[in-house]
Amino acid sequence: MKHPPRILVVDDEALNRILLQTALEHMGYVVETVSDGRAALQTLRQQSYNLILLDLLLPDMSGEQILQQIKADPVLASVPVIIVSAIEQQKRINFCLEMGAVDFLPKPFDPEQVYGRVQAALNN
Q: For residues 83 and 104, is the Cβ–Cβ distance under 8 A?
A: yes
CB–CB of 26/112 below 8 Å? no
List phi, psi (to 5°) of 102. -95, -20
Q: What's the pLDDT score for residue 89?
A: 82
pLDDT, one tens digit per residue, over 26-77 is 999 999 999 999 999 999 999 999 999 999 999 999 999 999 999 999 999 9
Write the pLDDT tens digit of every residue in 76-118: 999 999 999 887 788 989 999 999 999 999 988 898 999 999 9
User: For the whole model, what pTM was predicted?
Assistant: 0.95
Which domains, from first to last, does the chain contain? 6-123 (3.40.50.2300)
For residue 124, the model assigns a pLDDT of: 83
